[in-house]
Every structure is written in C-alpha cells, then in structure tokens.
Amino acid sequence: MSRTIEFRDALREAMSDEMRDDPRVFLIGEEVAEYDGAYKVSRGMLDEFGPKRIIDAPISETGFAGLGIGAAMMGLRPIVEFMSWSFSLVAADQILNNAPKMLYMSGGQLQVPIVFRGNDGAGGQLGSTHSWCVESLYANVPGLKIVIPSDPYDAKGLLTAAIRDPDPVFCLESERMLSMTGEVPESPYEIAIGKAVTRREGADCTLVSFGRPVHFCMEAAEQLAKEGIDCEVIDGRSIKPLDIESIVTSVRKTNCCVVVDQSWSFASIGSEVAAEVHKHCFDDLDNHVHRVHSDDVPAPYAHNLEAEMLPNPRKICEAVRSATYNA
Amino acid sequence: MTMEQIIVTPSSKETKSAKTPEDSKQLPLPGPDVLIKWLRDMKLIREFEIRAVQAYQNKLAGGFLHVYNGQEAVAVGSIAALQPTDPVITAYRDHGHALARGLDPKVGMAELFGRIGGCAKGKGGSMHFFDVPNHMYGGHGIVGAQTPVGAGLAFATKYEDEVLNGGTNTRVTLCFLGDGALNQGAFHEAANLAKVMDIPVIFIVENNKYAMGTSIERCTSAADNLVDKGVAYHMDSVCIDGMDITNTYPAMKALVDDIRANPRPAFVDMKCYRFKGHSVSDPRKYRTHEEEQENEANDPIEALAKFLISSGVMEEAEIKAMNKELRVEIREAVKWAEASPEPGIEELYKDVYIEKWGPYTGTSLPNFMKDSTRGDA
C-alpha cells in the first residue's frame, strides 16, 4: 500500500526496515540519536532500536567513517550519516582509500558492505564550504557506488538497495528535497543500482540529469514544450555504475543531448556523459552534447548569486535551444 | 631478567599512567615450550626480513619494503597475549605481525614478489599483508589511517557481543601504530571515539624513536613521556619494554586480560628500536653509527636466546639447529614464492566489486554494444 510521505521519512523507512530485518545494520553519525537527526531523518529511531544501534558520534568524520569501515570488515552493515557530504572531505582518506580499496588490496578477503549517506549539493545559502556537490570528485574512484535519489520513492528504494549491497555505496541526498512529499509503498522494495529511469518522454532532445536538478529539467521541459521543443528527461538514479545504455538509447531517438550536472564542469559527471554519448552516438547527433553545470566559482552566499550559480531551468532552456538550433 | 615476575592484580577502576616499563603490571612467564616457540617465531621474522631485503635487492620484490628487524619482541610478545580470534591491525611495517599471527612465510614471500600465491594474490604487496583466517586485518599504507579502522574492528566485536550474541564472548583488538602516527588526526579521533564508546582496543605505539627519518624529539610533543597521550583520553596507559619479550609478554598479557574482563580502550608506549632504515632505500643519515651499534647490542632475539641458555631451557646446539632449520624454511619460502605464477591479467579486474560490473569501460565499448560496428574495440 502506498501513501504520501516526505523524502526524509522515506529514507528513515529504508533504514528502519533493514534494521528490523538484519541485526547487523546500525546507524552512526553526528546527532542521529538523541537530537533525532540534524535534519530529522532518523527521528524516532533511537526509541525503537536503542543506543547500541543508533549511535551519536563525536564531530570526528575521519574517526566514525573509519570505525564504520572496520565494523564492515568484520561483517556488520554500518550506515554512516554525514550531516553534509561537505563534511566528508575531512574523512576523504577513509572513504576513498580504505572503503573502496579494501576488497582489492586484501585479494578479495575483506568486503566492506557500508553505506555513507547525507546531504549533497547546495542547501539554502550555506556559503562556499557547505555547498559541495561531491559526485564528480568521488565518482573518479573505483570500488565504490554512488546513488542519488530525486524523489521519496527513489529515496526509499535506492537506500534499501544500498544497505543490502555488498560493496561501499555513497547515497547523495539533498537538504532542499527532504521535505518533498511523494507516494511511497509501505513495504520494503529495492530500486536496482545502476539503472536509469525515463521521467518524461520526448522526441527532440534528451536531458540527462541526477538528483535535485532532475526537477529543474522537468520544469525546463514544460517551458520548452510551449515553444514546440519536446524533451525526454532521463533520471540517472545512480552515478556509479552509470546507465550509459539508457542514455544512448534515448539519444539515438532524439539525436540531441543536454547533460545537467550540479557539480563543477571540469572532469565531471557531465563531461563523462558527454564523452560516452559522443563515442556511442557520433553518427546520431545533430549537435555536440551541451552541458549545464554549477558555474566554476565557489558557492556564493547571496540568494541571487547562488541561484545563478546552480543549474536552473533558465540555463537548461538556453542549452536545449542552442543544442536544437532554436537559439 | 628472571623467571620470577612480580604479579600485580589488575584494577580497572581508575585510569593508570605507568610511565616506565618497570611500573607496568606483569604476570609470570609461561612454560619452556612457549618460550622456545617465541624464540623460533622471532627468529623466523628476522630470517624472513633478511631474505626479503635480499630479494628486493635482486628485484624479486618491488615497491616499498619496510622491515621489522629489532622489533620482533613487540609483535611476538603482544600477539602471544591474545586468543586466536582476537583481531590484529597495523600499518605498513607489517610482516612481523602477520607472521606472528600465523601467516605462512611462503605465502607472505609470494605477496612480496607480486605472485598469485601471496596472501592478497599479489595485489597488496609488502604494505598490505591481510590474513583474515588468522584474524590479521592488514597491513595499511597511510600513517595513522588504520587507527579508526582498528577501533571499528573492536567496535564490531563489542557489537557482536552485546547486540548479536547476548554477551557471550569478548574479543580484544590490537591496533599497532608507529610513534609518527601519534601526530595524525586520525589517531586522536580514534582514541576519543574508543574512550567515549568503551571499545576494547589496545593502541600499541611501536615507539622506535623515528618517524621515518625524523627523531621523535624533533616531531612529537611529550616525546619522553608518550603515555600522557593516552592519559589525555583517559585510557589506561602503560609503558612497556619492547626489546625484551620476557618483559613485553607479561605486561601485555596482564593488559589484554584486564581489557577482556572490563572492555575499554588502552594505550601502550612500546619502547623499541628499528635496526634497519625506514625502508630499504633509507641511508640513515639522521642517526649515528654509535647509536645504532648501542641499540643493536640490545637485540631482543639474542636476549631471549641468552636467557633460555642461562636458565637451562635450551642449549647452544639446539639454538644453532633452530637457526639452520629456519634458514631452510625461509629459503624454501623464497623458492616457493618464485615458483608461484604472476597473477593472471583477469585478476586486475577482480575484487573491485563483489558483484562484478566493472571495471568501468568508459574508454571502450560497454558489453551491450559488443556487436556494434561503431566505436572503438
């Protein structure tokens, strides 16, 4: 049975369902227990599961990320919450060196079934250091997987799949979407990691995006439809593995592609998608792949500057008009 | 040295700070068979390292090679205090710990040679000796990075005990680190976490006086009193002599038993000396020849051998026979490792993920397009 719940509730349901089902699963992070979660994602979980499984960590990302990795090496299934992925940078050695390489450098002896999750991307005017989109930075590393839900249904399904996955999975959520509501089934379900979904069908241009900017693409598609440009919108759902097949199939139909990626443009998810589409759709494309990213500047504080920096419907519309020779 | 050791009943009620090796609590030594085994284990590590350096010079091994000569009593004496399922984790000077934990020397040698017979199939190398069946969790390359992971291993044993098994068994984790790692934030985060969560992990600082080529006085505050670093986190903190296993073992045994009985973290300033350089390429210009000679005269293997002879446990001839046997064993290990094949190229792509979907084929065709005539091959 489905009912309408918030994005944060969907995340909590995924964690709570898995914790009821598997006693090896536990949650650790800053303010996840007594504070009820800095963003109320873990609200009530301490009451149900107790302090041995819902664990308040000191403000020591390297420490508790590494602790989770060690626990996973022993067969537990930790969920490590970063209040913001911006704070994961101080734990970079643990999450990039230890978690994704342990299986390989131990010659297959030690798997690390761990989930790192938290808010990714700009919040509301949080300034330069708190607005990181880590996906392009982290996707460069082999051995980890990255999922990025764009609505409550995906939040529950992708996080459930991440917790059950035997490899390290980074789940990138968005502070701006935690209050978004949507239809979510009550019983547990998985959304396959590495499979994209088509959010809108169209004939003229393929928009490829991930996470929160998917909604900007949908807005842009509505606007462009009024102008007679029919967009198809692909939500990647996962960044690693990347579902190139779905993207290529769509571009072969529309002969046009615009990638919308909230990280900076240099060596990014957007440039990777563009490279792959150029390779596989070279003869199909009517124009080169266009890209919309956050501008190549540190995130500003001022409301108007931040809105201009991020991918937004206006920028997406401009890119699609250019790509379809309607500029 | 004497077989009669002072027995001190451990007390877990207060944070202790034993600042000299003599202050630390001790238990009596085990029987002669165990002492002979320790001598053999220490000699095996020494012989392994001597042959490893030779192999490195003969280009059979590559990368970095950090040998353990001089510190054998630390690994053997500490690990002897454990039960077989207690986890052990260390940094990159890891051969001694893995061998002391039971790694077959031929499998270790094959790892150094980058062969499929190695403990990590030749994919880890000298710095990444993993031997999970013997509860050896590496072998880690980044200074200090293993300390939060070590706290995590110990957290898992506590979790298993309290959440999964209902308090049936307590394991104690040994997390080794070098004195240089004390200056990494990772250690301080791990120490704080371990204390606030009462995790049964013992942080053993192998204080060989040098962080690579920088002497401890030049880079570490409170260099003459490292136990203060443990006390700062309200951990039971002791200084233990790591150059004489008849001191190392009883002190470690008392500590391990105490932690098992009352799970909590502890800190050890383990005094030792690294006879060789930081790695094979180290010319050791930062210390004098006299200092090295003085410390080498305090060889932990010679000390135990002398003790066993003087106390009538072994005879000179038996020790010589042991030396010969070990030389043969390690020579055989080298031969075995040389005969082990290099990993097949398919190994390059294994163990990246449990369920294989990689490596990412961004620059070649994904599987679904293999029959395509377009693009590169």
Per-residue confidence in pLDDT tens, chain B, 377 aa: 444 333 333 344 445 566 666 665 566 889 999 999 999 999 999 999 999 999 999 999 999 999 999 999 999 999 999 999 999 999 999 999 999 999 999 999 999 999 999 999 999 999 999 999 999 999 999 999 999 999 999 999 999 999 998 777 789 999 999 999 999 999 999 999 999 999 999 999 999 999 999 999 999 999 999 999 999 999 999 999 999 999 999 999 999 999 999 999 999 999 999 999 999 989 999 999 999 999 999 999 999 999 999 999 999 999 999 999 999 999 999 999 999 999 998 899 899 998 765 555 554 444 544 444 433 33
Mutation target among A104, A247, A252, A280 for the B interface, most CBs of B within 10 A: A104
Q: Which residues from chain B sit within 8 angstroms of residue A58, using beta carbons?
A: 189, 192-193, 196
pLDDT at B346: 86
Nearest to B149 among A23, A69, A194 (CB): A69
* Buried residues in A242-256 as b, exposed as e (16+ CB within 10 A): bbbbbbbbbbeebbb
Query: How many CA atoms lie less than 13 Å away from B376 in the CB half-sphere?
Result: 7
CA distance A323 to chain B (A): 23
| Mean pLDDT along residues A163-174 | 97
CA distance A103 to chain B (A): 6
Q: Can you give the length of chain B in residues?
A: 377
In B, minimum Cα distance to A29 occurs at: B193
pLDDT at B372: 41
Q: Is B206 helix (H, G, I), strand (E, B) or coil?
A: strand
Q: Which residues from chain A sit within 8 angstroms of residue B185, using beta carbons?
A: 62
Instruction: Determine, for residues B164 and A24 on separate chains, whether the beta-carbon distance falls below 8 Å.
Output: yes
pLDDT at B356: 65
Instruction: Determine, for residues A62 and B189 on separate chains, whether the beta-carbon distance falls below 8 Å.
Output: yes
Instruction: Determine, for residues A64 and B350 on separate chains, whether the beta-carbon distance falls below 8 Å.
Output: no
Nearest to B358 among A64, A108, A142 (CB): A142
Mutation target among A49, A90, A105 for the B interface, most CBs of B within 10 A: A105
Instruction: Determine, for residues A71 and B159 on separate chains, whether the beta-carbon distance falls below 8 Å.
Output: yes
The answer for B34, left when phi > 0, alpha when psi is -120 to 50, beta otherwise, is: alpha
Nearest to B123 among A94, A107, A194 (CB): A107
Q: Are strands A205-209 and A25-29 parallel, antiparallel or unpaired?
A: unpaired
Q: Give Cα B81 distance to the centre of its chain.
A: 14
pLDDT at B365: 42
Nearest to B350 among A52, A108, A276 (CB): A108
Instruction: Determine, for residues B147 and A66 on separate chains, whether the beta-carbon distance falls below 8 Å.
Output: yes
| Mean pLDDT along residues A274-278 | 96
CA distance B371 to chain A (A): 13
pLDDT band at A3 (very low <50, low <70, confident <90, very high): very high
Q: Can you give the length of chain A in residues?
A: 327
Instruction: Determine, for residues B149 and A167 on separate chains, whether the beta-carbon distance falls below 8 Å.
Output: no
pLDDT of A30 > 70? The answer is yes
CA distance B118 to B129: 9
CA distance B169 to chain A (A): 15
pLDDT at B370: 47
Nearest to A70 among B121, B128, B149 (CB): B149
Nearest to B3 by CA among B27, B39, B37: B27
Instruction: Determine, for residues A280 and B375 on separate chains, whether the beta-carbon distance falls below 8 Å.
Output: yes
CA distance B289 to B298: 15
Domains and CATH numbers, chain A: 2-185 (3.40.50.970), 197-323 (3.40.50.920)
* Buried residues in A176-200 as b, exposed as e (16+ CB within 10 A): bbbebebebeeebebbebbebeebb
CA distance A71 to chain B (A): 5
Q: What are phi and psi of A55, to 5 degrees?
A: -115, 120
* A123, two tokens: 């919040």
Instruction: Determine, for residues A70 and B152 on separate chains, whether the beta-carbon distance falls below 8 Å.
Output: yes
Q: Are strands A145-147 and A169-173 parallel, antiparallel or unpaired?
A: parallel
Domains and CATH numbers, chain B: 17-281+308-369 (3.40.50.970)
pLDDT at B28: 80
Instruction: Determine, for residues A63 and B151 on separate chains, whether the beta-carbon distance falls below 8 Å.
Output: yes
pLDDT at B5: 36
Residue A61 designated active-site: yes
pLDDT at B354: 87
Q: How high does pLDDT run on average in chain A?
A: 97
Question: Does residue B99 contact residue B68 with C-beta atoms inside 8 Å?
Answer: no
The tens digit of pLDDT for each residue in A94-128 reads 999 999 999 999 999 999 999 999 999 987 899 99
CA distance A6 to B355: 32
Tally helices (H) and strands (E) across chain B: 12, 10
Question: Does residue B280 contact residue B67 with C-beta atoms inside 8 Å?
Answer: yes
Rg for chain B (alpha carbons), in Å? 22
In A, minimum Cα distance to B135 occurs at: A74
CA distance B342 to chain A (A): 13
CA distance A6 to chain B (A): 31
Q: Which residues from chain B sit within 8 angstroms of residue A284, using beta carbons?
A: none
pLDDT of A327 > 90? The answer is no
Mutation target among B86, B147, B195, B353 for the A interface, most CBs of A within 10 A: B353
Nearest to A279 among B123, B132, B375 (CB): B375
Catalytic member of A31, A130, A278, A318? A130
Nearest to B354 among A70, A103, A240 (CB): A103
pLDDT at A34: 96
pLDDT at A95: 98
Catalytic member of A6, A13, A61, A135? A61
pLDDT at B361: 56
